[in-house]
Structure formats: C-alpha cells, structure tokens
Structure 1
C-alpha cells in the first residue's frame, strides 16, 4: 500500500493533469464538457488501475502513462455514449475503434467522430491513442499479449455499443451477442458475461505481464483466463450491485436486475467472489492478485451507497465472510482512504 501512495498516485495525478490541460483546450463545447466530466467523476478508475504498476516499479514509467491513457479513453467514451446526442450503433462502434487502435502499435488513426455532430476535439482523442501505442510498443513482451488485449478491448467495445443503443433494442442485442460466446463460458449467465466484458482490469494485467521479457505464450494465456471472466466479472458486478437503487430510479440498465431473486443474486455474487479468489491464487505472485480481489470487494462494499440499500447490505455481509483481508481493506477504506480523498 505504501508503494501505491509513494510511487504510483503521484505519477497518475501528473498524467491526469496533462490530459486535463489538453481537455480544457478542446474546441467543441460538448466534447470538452464530457472529457472534463469523465476526469472529474472517474479519476479513481485511473488511480485504481495504476495499482498494477506497483508490481513493477522499474516499469512504472511505461505502465502508468499507458494505463491512465487507456482508462481515460474508456471513461471519456463512456460519457460520450451514456450522455450521447446519438443512439447509433455504428457511431458508438467507430468511437470505440479508438481503443482497439490504442492497443495496436502502428495502427493508423482515423476520424473517430465521423458519425456524430460533435467532431472537433483539437486532437485530444488522437493524442490519447498515440500515447497508448507508444507505451505499449515499449513493453518488452507486448507482442505476446497484444492479441489477447485486443480480444478484451473488442469485447469491451461490443458491450458499450449494445448497452447504449435505444432502450427497446438493448436486451435483444445483448442476448444475441451472448449466443456467440455461451458455449465457451457455460459457467456464466448472459448478464455475468456482459458484466465481465466491461472491466479494463484484464487489459491492465496483460500490460503488467508484458513487462517480463521472458514471458511465454502459455503464461500470457493463463493471465487472460484468470482475469477474464472471473476477476473482471466480479469487478463490474460489484459496481452494478451498489448502483441498483440509482439505476432503478433512472431507468438505466443494471446487470444485477436480471437475476431472478435476491437469493439468486446473492448465490451468483458469492460464486463470482469464490471464482475470482481461486483465479487469483492460481497466478504467479498470488498475494498481489488476492490483494486486488479483496480490495475490489472492500472498495465497493464500503461505498456510502450501500448504507441506504438494505438488500445490498445483506449481500455485502455475505460477501465479506471468510476473508480477513477483505475486512481489513474494508476498515481502511471506510475509515482512512475515503476520508483522505
């Protein structure tokens, strides 16, 4: 934890300050508003993602800019789609092509705004994409993880398209999409798969793995399979778990609402926690990955949103059982970290 505060957070905040300055110079008022809003409300995404750089401080000068730039693209595009002046699937897909280009060094850039009215960002998105390409190209074993990163980025883009199109089409398109993958993930329900595709943690872990020049293809695949779907799925389902009340009020899609009952939700969430812990324990440096898993549980379940939702509190008590790590992180997050933010 001390490594994060001493070496990681200052680097993250320096990167974000640079991107904030660039966002403030965006000519189009709507694009500027969404770029700044995404940083104002989602800075903790970059701070949390950059924890992976703590495992390789010697490579943090590559990992921190890469993770911050890719997460900033993700958060910016999420704002553009979620608060969009468009409901076009092709618009959303073209926007998210920027993420695929970002993790593909040498890929040519294009006009990612070509299908929407707001077009002039002064080069902001292109600059983020180029930063990712440059940093990824510097990772010693990136060639061994690139296709796996692209797979996860592609799934992430698919989710963003289907969950942001017109409401009457969302569930139908999500279920149709799931049909392509259900045989590969028989342990999952469609909403759990969809949730897992919404996490960037698997991408960040593959960046970390690519820091090792001795990485082998089988090691890269083990990382991918350990993080996706278990750890990635837990990450996003926890996010949806605590957002149930506000999503109900706003009429927004929430993948926790697709469980048939509260008992079923509790059962499936507990299964996801157990699966994520097992996946973490099977990786090299398992204590680091268990810290990630237990930290996720504590981070979300200590959120003030939980207090006002009785059913979520009951789920939280169930998920907190059996792990001293989770209880420790929960206490730290509740009594120290959040107050310091």
Structure 2
C-alpha cells in the first residue's frame, strides 16, 4: 500500500501515466470545483456581471482543466492545488470577459479589477472595492470569494514564501497586459509598445507582440504553485522555475491561443498578437522558434520530461480545437506544425479531441 501511494505521488514522466491521472483525478475534481463556482455565479445580483461570470465558466472550462494538469504532478496535494488553480484561473477568465465586453474603456477600471489577482496571491494586501470605477458593481461577493479561495489555498502551501516574489512578478505583468490591451483601440498599440520598451531587455529574443503574449499566460503561476507544495523550496529554485517558464513556455501558450482565435477576434474587434506578422510563413517560423526555446528552457528543470509533456500538450490542445477547422489559413498552419510531430504530440492531440467530445 505504501509503495502504491508513493508511485501515485511521483511526477509522471510519460504521457500514458499523465493522462491516466488526468482522466481519473484531475477532470472530475475540476468539474466539481467549477460546478460550485457556477452555482455562486448564478446568484450574482447584477445581470451583466452574472452573464459574464457564467459565460466565462461555460466557454473557458478547458483553461481550468489545462491549468490543473500541474496537480497531476503531486496527487497527494491535489485537494489544495486544484481549488487554488481553478479559483485563480476563474478570476482571470471572468475579468477577461468583463474587459473584452466592457461597458467602459477606462484603464483605471481595468487595473482596479485586476488588482483582485494581485490580492489573490498576496494575502497580506487589503481587499479592495474592485468595481468602484464601473457602473455594474453588485456581484454578491463573487470576486472576493474567488480571491479568498486563492488565499486559503496559498495558506496551505509550505513553500509559498519563496515562490511569492516570482508569482507576483508574473501577475503584475499579466495585469499590465490586460490594462493596455483593453483600452481604446486607437491607443492600445502605442501603450503596448511603450510598455515593451520598459521590459524588452528581459526578452531580447522576442518581438514586442510575443513578449506581450508571454505576459498573458498563467502557466508560470501554476507551476510555482506546484513548486510551493515543497516545504524546502527556496528563492533560488523558484527563480529557476520562473525563468524556465517565462517567456517561452508562457509565450507559446498564448500565441497558440491567439492563433486559433484570429477569426473570432477580427469579428469582435479584439486585439490579436498573431495579426502583427507580415505573413503566415513568418508566423509559423516564429511559433516554431518559441517551441524550440520552451523545450530548451525546461531542460534545466528536475523531471524535465514532465514539462516537455506540458509543451507538447499545449500544441496538441490548441491545434485540436474545433476553431482550427473553420479557418483555412489556420488549418494549413496546424497541418505544418503537426507534420513530423513527435509521437507524444500526436498522443495528446488524440486525447484532447476525445476530452472535448466526451468530457467538456
């Protein structure tokens, strides 16, 4: 029995073991958490806030499923990691909906809303009135409940003190991105370029749009949550993890997200970082370079095979999305990215399709 428990808590090194854990433990637990938040969201008094909260859960469930894969690396702590990851990702998805379909274009409003994410990972911060700068304000305590759920999870992570500065760095970058990308379309590109000028020395190998995309990922935060389950985590190790995920793993995540959303974003008038390439050949080349950079970066991490699976799983997850088949150019790019793929990517591609059909 002891050997069985130990084997379950070892970080999975091969796709079959990882997906076995995903099907048996991760997906059911994520569904349970989201059902709870869906019920809470359904009781939000303000109709617009309720609509966006429910929509974010219904249409972005796979964000929580994908993020919670990190809990598969420590099943013994999944009762902490999954509620924490789901709560944090749900804040992200909810606020993204509020800002994308916002009734305002006030950067102060967007920054105050996203202060909730900084408060969620910094329990010493005072809770704010996150809706103070917008008309719709009565969420029945929904957003604060999400923040407190994150804080509860963090309080159970023995190594969190070491991870906190690096998590905060990623969340600050995420907040900046959400402010600049949602302001008046006539102002947002200039604001993003000015912002990049302040940070470009951190990622000299990336174009401005690729840096911006990298700041939009929550994967680095989730990996640091996982690392913080270790009471012996120190700041040096946390920094190594941060640098292994940002910018390439994080950048790959969001560039793929934008890749498949191009048609949808064009219709909605939303900013899309893939639209800044001169042609699809350049875009394909740049995404391939980011994949290569991501694989190289994670090679320095312990049990690097787990992180390679994350990378291949990302590619497979997004390229298996039904949106791909509806866009001829993206379908062509997908075929090129899947051509001569490692078997691991093909395996995750097949599983991603099955999960969408039978689980989501």
Q: Distance in 2 between matches of 1:331 and 1:47?
A: 16
Q: Corresponding residue for 1:252?
A: 270
Q: Corresponding residue for 1:161?
A: 179
Q: Distance in 2 between matches of 1:311 and 1:79?
A: 26
Q: Kindly indicate whether residue 232 of structure 2 is the aligned counterpart of residue 224 of structure 1.
A: no
Q: Corresponding residue for 1:212?
A: 230
- What stretches of structure 1 of length at least 5 have no aligned partner? none
Match of 1:330 among 341, 344, 349: 349
Larger RCO: 1 or 2 (CA < 8 Å, sep 6+): 2
Question: How far did 1:251 drift?
Answer: 2.9
Match of 2:147 among 129, 148, 159: 129
Match of 1:203 among 221, 242, 256: 221
Once the two structures are overlaid, the 10-residue window that deviates more, 310-319 or 291-300, is: 310-319
TM-score by length of 2: 0.92
Question: How far did 1:331 drift?
Answer: 2.5
Counterparts in 2 of 1:331 and 1:8: CA distance versus 1, 3 Å: closer
Kindly provide the CA deviation profile for residues 201-258 of structure 1, in whole angstroms up to 9, marking residues without a partner as x.
Answer: 0000000011111112221111100111010000000011112222233332110111
Q: Distance in 2 between matches of 1:338 and 1:182?
A: 37
Q: Corresponding residue for 1:75?
A: 93
Q: Contact 2:111–2:176 (CA<8 Å) still a contact in 1?
A: yes
Question: How far did 1:195 drift?
Answer: 0.4
List aligned pairs for 1:91-110, cutoff 5 A: 91-110=109-128
Once the two structures are overlaid, the 10-residue window that deviates more, 104-113 or 153-162, is: 104-113
Question: How far did 1:322 drift?
Answer: 4.2
Question: How far did 1:281 drift?
Answer: 2.5
Kindly provide the CA deviation profile for residues 180-211 of structure 1, in whole angstroms up to 9, marking residues without a partner as x.
Answer: 01122110100000000111000000000111
CA RMSD of aligned residues (A): 1.2
Q: Kindly indicate whether residue 23 of structure 2 is the aligned counterpart of residue 5 of structure 1.
A: yes
Q: Distance in 2 between matches of 1:94 and 1:47?
A: 27
Aligned length: 340
Question: How far did 1:9 drift?
Answer: 1.6
Q: Contact 1:273–1:319 (CA<8 Å) still a contact in 2?
A: no
